[in-house]
């Protein structure tokens, strides 16, 4: 599927009215695997959260990409998460795969890249018991200066290597856009791949058609433009407010961020997005997430 960037005007979106409000999306939130408990999921379901993303996978590894638990310990941990979710009536929408300096699918050293891909393959085996619909990957850590094209090539190679395993799980592979309002991080590093609308379009065009986009609203200024560029290739979201320049992860209804949530929700509707409204933000109580989504939906489509 090819994507063409077209000039889109968002200036008057807040003044527009949608005569037919779309149905409410299901609500989900991201929870670190070490923070998931039976009680937490029971409470989340009681306030009408229906989905979770299992995140925090970095906690499972040591500095050398070694698993900290035995094979039996890992299997038990994932089995418990599935058991608790089933008992609570919570569905596992997605798994957020690990990431970082030493867990980078775009490493230019081929032996290192293969090591990272191998870690992901092993983790996917453990994740299969969760029966997720989505497996989410970061595209890179911080590429070396002047080697961005090499990092892109390595990412594409890793995606093509891992996607068949994800499909075998009857799940969908998605790549998340990353924060990087400017290209250069410092004298040795650049900001991550998928840092702009243009780069996301370029790289998605190089991916297998069975690989889709995940959009983090905290990682880019005016995320509605990225939503429009991905269109039907958007399969998952991370909901948080920010300013496009740093990791903020504000609750959208806190008033601390700069996103235009009317524009974002209307863009999601244009894209035909039907997945969960998956929060990945600060909150004090899960009920805040539910109340916030209803407030945003009302502002975008009812008022």
Q: Is the pTM of this model over 0.85?
A: yes
The residue range of the domain holding 36 is 22-302
Q: H helices of the chain, where?
A: 38-46, 71-88, 110-127, 148-168, 197-204, 223-230, 261-270, 286-297
Question: Which CB contacts under 8 angstroms, 24+ apart, belong to 249-254?
Answer: 249/218, 249/280, 249/281, 249/282, 250/218, 250/281, 250/282, 251/279, 251/281, 251/282, 251/283, 251/288, 251/289, 251/292, 252/217, 252/281, 252/292, 252/296, 253/288, 253/291, 253/292, 253/295, 253/296, 254/282
**Could you write out the DSSP letters of every residue in 169-210?**
TT-EEEEE----SSSB-SSSBBPPSS-SHHHHHHHHTTS-TT
Q: Transcribe 146-166 into DSSP letters.
A: T-HHHHHHHHHHHHHHHHHHH
**Residue 12 resides in a domain:** no
Residue 170 covered by a domain: yes
In a domain, 15, yes or no: no
In a domain, 179, yes or no: yes
**3-state DSSP call for residue 100?**
strand
What's the pLDDT at 302? 82
pLDDT at 56: 97
Cβ 176 vs Cβ 140: under 8 Å: no
In a domain, 7, yes or no: no
**pLDDT at residue 19, rounded to an integer:** 55
| Residue 204 within a domain | yes
Asked, for residue 122, whether it belongs to a domain, the answer is: yes
Per-residue pLDDT in tens (0 to 9) along the chain, 303 residues: 444 444 333 333 433 444 578 999 999 999 999 999 999 999 999 999 999 999 999 999 998 899 999 999 999 999 999 999 999 999 999 999 999 999 999 999 999 999 999 999 999 999 999 999 999 999 999 999 999 999 999 999 999 999 999 999 999 999 999 999 999 999 999 999 999 999 999 999 999 999 999 999 999 999 999 999 999 999 999 999 999 999 999 999 999 999 999 999 999 999 999 999 999 999 999 999 999 999 999 999 986
Count of structural domains, the chain:
1
CATH number of the domain enclosing 103 = 3.20.20.150
Q: What is the pLDDT of residue 4?
A: 43
Is 53 part of a structural domain of the chain? yes
Q: What local confidence, expressed as pLDDT, does residue 20 receive?
A: 78
């Amino acid at each position: 599927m090819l994507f063409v960037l077209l000039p889109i005007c968002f200036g008057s979106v807040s003044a527009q009215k949608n005569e037919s409000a779309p149905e409410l999306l299901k609500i989900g939130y991201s929870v670190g695997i070490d923070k998931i408990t039976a009680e937490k999921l029971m409470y989340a379901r009681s306030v009408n959260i229906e989905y979770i993303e299992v995140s925090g996978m970095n906690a499972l590894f040591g500095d050398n990409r070694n698993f900290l638990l035995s094979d039996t310990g890992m299997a038990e941990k994932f089995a418990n998460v599935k058991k608790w979710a089933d008992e609570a009536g919570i569905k596992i929408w997605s798994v957020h795969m690990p990431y970082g300096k030493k867990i980078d699918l775009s490493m230019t050293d081929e032996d290192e890249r293969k090591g990272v891909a191998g870690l992901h393959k092993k983790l996917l085996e453990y994740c299969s018991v969760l029966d997720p619909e989505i497996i989410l990957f970061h595209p890179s850590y911080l590429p070396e200066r002047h080697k961005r094209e090499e990092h892109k090539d390595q990412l594409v190679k890793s995606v093509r290597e891992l996607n068949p395993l994800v499909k075998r799980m009857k799940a969908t592979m998605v790549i998340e856009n990353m924060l990087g309002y400017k290209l250069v991080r410092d004298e040795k590093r650049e900001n991550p791949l998928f840092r702009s609308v243009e780069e996301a379009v370029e790289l998605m065009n190089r991916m297998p058609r069975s690989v889709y986009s995940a959009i983090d609203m905290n990682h880019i200024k005016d995320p509605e433009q990225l939503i429009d560029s991905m269109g039907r290739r958007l399969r998952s979201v991370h909901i948080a407010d920010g300013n496009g320049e740093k990791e903020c992860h504000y609750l959208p209804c806190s008033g601390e961020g700069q996103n235009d949530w009317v524009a974002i929700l209307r863009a999601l509707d244009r894209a035909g997005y039907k997945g969960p409204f998956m929060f990945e933000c600060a909150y004090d109580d899960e009920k805040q997430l539910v109340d916030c989504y209803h407030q945003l939906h009302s502002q975008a489509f009812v008022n």
